[in-house]
Amino acid sequence: MGEGGFAKLFQKRSFFRFAQKYQPLGSGEPEEETHEECELKIIEQEKEVTVLPPKDACKCHKEDLAKALNVDLQTGLPEFSVLQRRLKHGWNEFSVENTEPIWRKYLDQFKNPLILLLLASALVSVITKEYEDAVSITMAVLIVVTVAFIQEYRSEKSLEELNKLVPPECNCLREGKLQHLLARELVPGDIVYLSVGDRVPADLRLIEVTDLLVDESSFTGETEPCNKTDGVLLEAGDITTLSNIVFMGTLVRYGKGKGVVIGTGENSQFGEVFKMMQAEETPKTPLQKNMDRLGKQLTLFSFGIIGLIMLIGWLQGKHLLSMFTIGVSLAVAAIPEGLPIVVTVTLVLGVLRMAKKRVIVKKLPIVETLGCCNVICSDKTGTLTANEMTVTRLVTSDGFQAEVSGVGYSGEGDVCLLPSKEILKQFSNISVGKLVEAGCVVNNAIIRKNSVIGQPTEGALVALAMKMELADIKDIYVRKKEIPFSSEQKWMAVKCTLKNQDREDIYFMKGAFEEVIQYCTLYNSSGISLSLTPQQKAFYQQEEKRMGSSGLRVLALASGPELGKLTFLGLVGIIDPPRAGVREAVQVLSESGVSVKMVTGDALETAVAIGQNIGLCNGKLKAMSGEELDQLAEAELSSTVKNVSIFFRTSPKHKLKIIKALQRAGAVVSMTGDGVNDAVALKSADIGIAMGQAGTDVSKEAANMILVDDDFSTVMSAIEEGKGIFYNIKNFVRFQLSTSISALSLITLSTVLNLPNPLNAMQILWINIIMDGPPAQSLGVEPVDRDTIKQPPRCITDTILSKSLILKIFMSAIIIISGTLFVFWKENPKSGITPRTTTMTFTCFVFFDLFNALTCRSQTKLIFEIGFFRNRMFLYSVLGSFLGQLAVIYIPPLQKVFQTENLGVLDLLFLTGLASSVFIVSEFIKLCEKHCC
């Protein structure tokens, strides 16, 4: 029986169980028809039930909601209705359509023009019976393709990972019973119960709440948990204002609630992010574009060689087919089959170096892309800031001011009195001590293992008490009563009495200044309560505004025997402060030409305060809200976003809009984030960077890079690495092309001019090993230059084969060809070529190669600036090649293979001096460029 058959069977059985309760005695055939009619009627009613958008559901009264979703709010849905709705709306999960099989993804790797060119050269090698060449080229291609495939296949989990954030279980009311179900079983209309610590299993319209606080930071970027209600909203703004709706994947921090499911799976707010991620394509990296371009350039170069040789052969009256064969063989030799391997090895080593710096890179080419990055769009909460509310400022009722150091909930840090910088502990200053004591007592948070259980704001007050060594002061009181915080009254109070003492009760209150001050008639002055004057109130109000304008969340604290006769104790300023090292990182990035922009769901004041604190745009900030973004046309947006440094009150759609606008303006954009609301932007950015500790699974899987320690400053190291990798690839290309052009030119000239070949087949093979082997490969692992970070970002239109690089390649090639031909002419007796002639010519070419490799270590810096011993792998490979060459010249068995003979010491010194000319000329040009440019 198929899946549909099972569903129908369950529907029948569930319905009849449901309908038997109402079956009259003595029923016969007519009632069976009634059952069928009743069943059809219920099925039709269920078909009409649709998901409710949050902005519609928030304006519905409970009765209208029950009617729209066809549910009894007291008993929940019957099983029959659940089955019908599941058929229509599906399971409460996300389905990833993986239509492309693995083998096709593997074959897609072969679409790279350079890979296709190498495969074509392997085929030509088979046709011309050069089987060794064919095997080596094919192996090189397979290694490169397999490494790239494994990296990319591992990173294609971003959509599947969304399921991990959907909670596996929930408490649901069905048929009058509270059941413990898997979250995937929920359907629109189900009644769900929420309590502290629960992840919300679907989008719910709340119908009952008790002090419910929900952490929506992964959606909105707001640090503070949102206070939820069950009342009807008259107007529906953006999702941050829907106080009677809770969204799938958010976390219950405090209180409890009950709600009706209005959206499941892809029809939830979470599902909107999922659909946006499905629609987004990961852009090609600049290196991939460069390699494509280089492949096309080398293809044209190859066809040029074939055409030139065929033309010369035709002019000389030679057989065209033989000339074509020679031309193709030379073109195949010209293609640097070692290039894809060097690129892959260089990138892998870059990835490994980044791993040591606690940065995980998921896609190889991304490392190099960082070198082109000129804009970083960073989420504020949890990325630029620690997502740990921290008290930073205190103002007591009698005018004392103190600043607080240390971030988060570890209790590390000090409270320093201003301006004396005296460190305060316990009640060394009575006014500060009483203020901190009140914050600790009127508090329900617990700090355990450096993390807060409860509200982050209350956690900040407990951490403050820990810094003052007053964390245990709460234990000397017995709590008799609590008046919980609500959004209407904007304050919380507790009624306490001292343990083992028959003293009168004392109230402690905390909340918004304008509310708390109404309950105060006195103010504290060094432990003595004095009458509160209008002047004092005005002073406190001025201080509260000043603290608020600097982005602090301000709490007022008071204590006293009665709620109407409290003593005002002072103000506490709380903020989610910047992470350590962020300010320095922003400064270095700005100096190197990388613009840092903050994108947050937070309010303007908080965003600007953090922006100024971390030195965005050297304090010259321009801010734009999500609403303003919506009003701008596409063309206008692209020109405007470049000059904006802070985007506030933004949604996932706004973040995507910002990135697309910057990319249209020609920027290479990196996006850092940690929440569900960042996932779409992370995927569409050129480089998506997620936080390893604070980041959600979705953001980690959507990103290309993960900062394991959530340290924003490691982005600097990554950018430095990216710039260095591109330079190393250019160094390798310069060396390999100058060597291959020299070798080709020697063979081409001898073929065209009907001269004897200066090098035999085995000698050419040895040169090829040096050209593609250790000396060449070691150029790819040159350590990143210390001044690299100061270089401006590389323009994405810059090609690997730039004009200056081509000139340097041809300059080196001309010197090598001229020197080698000079030796060949000098050592060529009239009687014909001898072993000494080929040995001198062969050794000269190899020595030229090694000196050429030495100067190719840097395009701009002299060898004395970068240091001889910095790249040890290069030293070992050059030394190995030199010893290998000596072995080829002096060991008798190898002399027979390579047709060489012994050379004298003076011969070697002469060849060394001649070959060093390529190094001396290159270094002299670098020196001229340095002083003239």
Catalytically annotated residues: 379
Our measurement of the distance from residue 140's CA atom to the centroid of its chain's CA atoms, rounded to an integer in Å, reads 31
Q: Residue 443 and residue 403: Cα distance in Å, rounded?
A: 21
What is each CA distance from 600 to 21, 217, 561, 661, 814, in whole angstroms?
A: 56, 10, 43, 17, 57
Total residues found in the chain within this entry = 933
Beta-bridge mates of residue 599: 379, 647
Q: Residue 806 and residue 710: Cα distance in Å, rounded?
A: 42
Residue 462 and residue 444 in contact, taking contact as beta carbons nearer than 8 Å: no
Residue 311: count of CB within 10 angstroms of its CB: 12
At residue 685, what are phi and psi to the nearest 5 degrees? -70, 160
3-state secondary structure of 507: strand
Q: b/e map of 698-727 (b: 16 or more CB within 10 Å)?
A: bbbbbbbbbbeebbbbbbbbbbbbbbbbbb
Q: Residue 306 and residue 312: Cα distance in Å, rounded?
A: 10
At residue 59, what are phi and psi to the nearest 5 degrees? -95, 0
At residue 843, what are phi and psi to the nearest 5 degrees? -65, -40
Residue 411 and residue 463 in contact, taking contact as beta carbons nearer than 8 Å: yes
Beta-bridge mates of residue 404: 415
Please report the beta strands in 780-846, taking only residues with DSSP state E, as ranges in sequence order: none
Closest CA to 205 of 286, 278, 264: 264
Q: CA gyration radius for the chain?
A: 37
* Residues 48, 53, 57, 59, CA torsion sign: negative
Query: Amino acid letter at 589?
Result: L
Q: Residue 477 and residue 285: Cα distance in Å, rounded?
A: 62
Q: Residue 553 and residue 391: Cα distance in Å, rounded?
A: 9
Closest CA to 392 of 613, 216, 594, 128: 613
Residue 472: count of CB within 10 angstroms of its CB: 10
Residue 862 is classified by DSSP as -
What is each CA distance from 803 to 634, 745, 809, in whole angstroms?
A: 36, 21, 10
Three-class secondary structure assignment of 465-498: HHHCCCHHHHHHEEEEEEECCCCCCCEEEEEEEE
Three-class secondary structure assignment of 252-264: EEEEEEEEEEEEC
Closest CA to 277 of 682, 591, 549, 792: 682
Of all helices (H) and strands (E), which one includes residue 447? strand 446-448
Q: Residue 615 and residue 600: Cα distance in Å, rounded?
A: 16
Give the DSSP letter string of 356-424.
HTTEEESSHHHHHHTTT--EEEEEIIIIIB-S--EEEEEEETTS-EEEE---SSS--S-EEEETTTEEE
Up-side HSE of residue 774: CA atoms within 13 Å toward CB? Answer: 15
3-state secondary structure of 101: coil
Residue 860 and residue 930 in contact, taking contact as beta carbons nearer than 8 Å: yes
